[in-house]
Structure 1
Amino acid sequence: MKPFMYQDALRKRRISGRSLAFLLRFQVLLLIAIIVFLSMFLPIVFPSMRDSPTTLLYSAASCSIASSIGIYILRGIRNYPGVEESFYAVPAFCVAYGILLVMLILFRIPYSRLLLTSAFAASILVSFVIHTLLRRRILLRIGVVKEGEYARLIETPGVEWRLLDTPDAPLEGLNSVSVDLWSDLSDEWERKLASLALQGIPVYHSKHLRESLTGRVEIERISENNFGTLSPLYAYMTAKHAFDWIAALVALVALLPLLIVVGIVIRLDSSGPVIFRQTRIGYRGRPFKVYKLRTMTVARHVDQSAVRDAAMTKDNDQRITGIGRFLRHSRVDELPQLINVLRGEMSWIGPRPEAEILSRWYESEIPFYHYRHIVRPGITGWAQVHQGHVADVAQVREKLNFDFYYIKNFSLWIDFIVVMRTIRTMLTGFGSR
């Protein structure tokens, strides 16, 4: 579908400003109702709670105010296009609930810790769900300064683009303005853009805007992160690694009965080992053995080309067993990789590790491919929830764009989004082969 045809389709179901205002009030009322419900439900589920009815009342009222503040903080981000809008849900509610906590402690107002924590989590979850439902229903109108690199930007679908030929071009109805800040702008344009920023009209760098709209970083050159370095934040990487280990240990113990049952079914379904082992390339380019539940029939290969071909999973692959198709669809076959997480070779979230033979091939064909190994590979990842499973070089180039975007924005917020989208992927089977 051509961009303008796509825009026409979206325009028919575009949400108006009045509807958005209604949805904002609806979200506030919904969260207040959830908080009131939690204040009555939690004491029933947790009889050990010793919070008095007065404390629960104060807590519910305070949480309602904090959630409302968080929603109105997010309201100012609604004009920000693309995936990055959802990045701000957690910080917005952290600010609102942080202010609430300070006020409660400062004025010594009694409060329920459990209700406060539950209301905070509910606020983030509701905000994320509503954002996901609305993101494709809102058509943004963005003005594009016809200077520098702008042609590729206006090819991006889902936005109504309006080219601005001169600084005096009309701006009525525009949500924001995009410009290539690396281009040699005239004095008139620089004055105009500065004036727009002072008027509160968002002005975005076209490269960053394209990345946010697509969730990808183009690989013509390696792109630094927002801190001006190619390296991810090692402080967050260390904290994430510790959390990964603890969560993997708990999950492996809890899921062990399920893994035993599935292992028995695999052995009954076809001959061969229960666990599939394969050498893949991981953190900092180091090879390691990845563990998965076997989902294919066992075959032997002789020449190198056959080995590489066998490492690729194709659409409607005839090697997939009966139980294997279900395991792939539900992603249950990935659970043994919790062992890799415990061994420090993988993370819960990160670029998916490729088979060694494929990784070496991709490195010879694609510039900067090995840069994806700067973070630990993951059981799930940003590329997987957007693109699914791919194998050929052209698709891997596209996948690498998503991997670079994840590395550039390496943080708690993008990991949270991956978790939420992974749940949707497991329910729908998106991208499985």
Structure 2
Amino acid sequence: MRTRFVISVGVTDLIAFALAVLAASQVEFGHPFPWEVVDAWPLLGLMTLSMVLMSVLTGWMSGPGVPRPTYGRMAVIAVGTWLMTSALIVALRVEYFSRPLIGLSLLFWLVPATLHRIVRRRRPWTERIAVITREKQLADELLESPHAEVIWVIPPDFVGDLELPERDVTIAVDMGSVLSERMAQFVSSCDVAGYRIRAFSSIYEEHTGRVPLVHVAEGWEISLPLLEVARWLPGKRLADIVFTVLTSPIWIPVALLVALYVRIADPSGPVLFKQERVGLEGQTFTMYKFRTMRPDAEDNGPSFARPDDPRLIRGGAFLRKSRLDELPQLINVLKGDMSLVGPRAEQVPFAREFRKQIPFYDHRHLVRPGITGWAQVNYGYADDEADTVEKLTYDLYYIKHMSPVLDMKVLWKSIWTVLTGAGAQ
């Protein structure tokens, strides 16, 4: 359903963009059809391809049940289309290109496309769900998704009379519960009548981007696609290396400037902060960051990091918010200690305690820790054990659904957060 929604927006964008090109051509050449004036087909093809890719990409990159601000997303599409078109023109050595035609086309497209999104957001796609579960709290959490409408919640041992719901309803069944004979007959009747029957855990994950610990306790390891995870890990490792090496001309000069700033801002301590963290398969490694706190910050032992931490040096808050302090972790990526995307690498003392107190905490060590991650972009800082449990549910979702597309989604949301300050930190 979500995919159909995104594709419909993409098709509308395509039609609006075609009309915008005609209007831009009329302004630029005095003729609505640019291909009759110049050899514009290659340029138009690249513009259209870039616009459609950016339009669909921004739709998929939104988190589960979290609509992005319309105006910000439209700005990303417009700028991304301009940059992608320019890059393709250079890479493919297109002979004819017109900056005014590109700019005017995007400008004329922005107005109807933005209006269309505003209208669609007022009536977003929703999945109507009838839930059969004992986990009333999880069903209530599902209500927080703007794309889920829970019409009723019934326990699996219900023995009363039930009527078939309306046709456009998904029946979500808690597979970890034993159904009463009456409920089993009801689900069977729904199945025969052609209703969509789905596991409640799958629907919950789809709409929230989380795997609650109660679902892990119900045999999550059995459904965990460990083989798929293992197949993706070598490709993920290769992608980490290629990306880090190719972008080194950008991040190395920036890292040198940040190092110089840290030295000037607080010359009393080292530029780099080194700390033992827990990584893949529970192995420890030395993680690097630019120092953003005073040298004596952890004299009384490790503690949770906070956005307004009083131990920060001058400018340390900005370095953290912009993620510039994490640039040295790209060295950890090259060494194989970390990945670009994954669960947060936790301090050894904290990990040791969480392992004792939080069920299934060690599952997050099935993959390499990341510079950024699904939990980080959706939840932000963990100030205590309760927050750590919440972040673990996002980490488990990432591990279960890990893929190149999900990694791109996390990277996209991380870049968006850094550039705009919106979203989790």
TM-score between both structures, scaled by the size of structure 2 = 0.68
- Partner residue of 1:155 out of 140, 148, 151: 140
| Matched residue SS, 1:162 | strand
Cα deviation, residue 29, structure 1: 3.5
Aligned residue type for 2:421? T
Work out the CA distance in 2 between the residues paired with 1:357 and 1:139.
45
Name the residue aligned to 2:281.
Answer: 284
Is 2:163 aligned against 1:177? Answer: no
- Partner residue of 1:206 out of 200, 205, 210: 200
Name the residue aligned to 1:236.
Answer: 232
| Matched residue SS, 2:301 | helix
Work out the CA distance in 1 between the residues paired with 2:273 and 2:381.
18
Instruction: Call closer, same or farther: CA 1:236–1:172 in 2, change over 3 Å.
Output: same
Instruction: Call closer, same or farther: CA 1:298–1:58 in 2, change over 3 Å.
Output: closer
Name the residue aligned to 1:293.
Answer: 290
- Partner residue of 2:191 out of 179, 190, 194: 194
Q: Report Cα offsets for 1:49-83 as digits up to 9, x if no partner.
A: xxx9497499679969xx69x98xxx9x9xxx946
Q: Which runs of 5+ in 1 are unaligned?
A: 1-16, 42-51, 87-111, 116-121
| Matched residue SS, 2:128 | strand
Cα deviation, residue 30, structure 1: 1.7
| Matched residue SS, 1:28 | helix
Q: 2:306·2:381 contact (CA, 8 Å) conserved in 1?
A: no
Work out the CA distance in 2 between the residues paired with 1:322 and 1:137.
46
Cα deviation, residue 142, structure 1: 2.7
Same amino acid, percent of matched pairs = 29
Work out the CA distance in 2 between the residues paired with 1:259 and 1:23.
38
Q: 2:139·2:153 contact (CA, 8 Å) conserved in 1?
A: no
- Partner residue of 2:318 out of 316, 326, 344: 326
Is 2:253 aligned against 1:257? Answer: yes
Instruction: Call closer, same or farther: CA 1:366–1:26 in 2, change over 3 Å.
Output: closer
TM-score between both structures, scaled by the size of structure 1 = 0.67
Aligned residue type for 1:203? I
Q: Report Cα offsets for 1:225-269 as digits up to 9, x if no partner.
A: 796545652221101101101111222332221111121111111
Q: 2:275·2:287 contact (CA, 8 Å) conserved in 1?
A: yes
Q: 2:129·2:150 contact (CA, 8 Å) conserved in 1?
A: yes
Cα deviation, residue 322, structure 1: 2.1
Cα deviation, residue 279, structure 1: 0.7
Q: 2:211·2:396 contact (CA, 8 Å) conserved in 1?
A: yes
Counterparts of 1:86-125 in structure 2 under 5 Å?
Answer: none
Work out the CA distance in 2 between the residues paired with 1:22 and 1:288.
44
Is 2:14 aligned against 1:31? Answer: yes
Q: Report Cα offsets for 1:146-184 as digits up to 9, x if no partner.
A: 4x4352343123343222777753534854332224432
Work out the CA distance in 1 between the residues paired with 2:392 and 2:318.
27
RMSD: 4.4
| Matched residue SS, 2:276 | strand
Q: 2:209·2:394 contact (CA, 8 Å) conserved in 1?
A: yes
Counterparts of 1:281-360 in structure 2 under 5 Å?
Answer: 281-299=278-296, 306-309=300-303, 312-360=304-352
Name the residue aligned to 2:103.
Answer: none
Q: Report Cα offsets for 1:13-72 as digits up to 9, x if no partner.
A: xxxx9xxx999766424235557989999xxxxxxxxxx9497499679969xx69x98x
| Matched residue SS, 1:353 | coil
| Matched residue SS, 1:404 | helix
Work out the CA distance in 2 between the residues paired with 1:290 and 1:55.
51
Name the residue aligned to 1:275.
Answer: 272
Instruction: Call closer, same or farther: CA 1:241–1:322 in 2, change over 3 Å.
Output: same
- Partner residue of 2:394 out of 394, 398, 402: 402
Work out the CA distance in 1 between the residues paired with 2:118 and 2:223.
28
Q: Report Cα offsets for 1:351-398 as digits up to 9, x if no partner.
A: 010111211121122122122111010000000001111142111111
| Matched residue SS, 1:322 | coil
Name the residue aligned to 2:421.
Answer: 428
Which structure has more relative contact order (CA 8 Å, sep 6+)? It is: 1
Aligned residue type for 2:150? W
Name the residue aligned to 1:9.
Answer: none
Instruction: Call closer, same or farther: CA 1:58–1:353 in 2, change over 3 Å.
Output: closer
Work out the CA distance in 1 between the residues paired with 2:9 and 2:274.
50
Aligned residue type for 1:244? D
Name the residue aligned to 2:32.
Answer: none
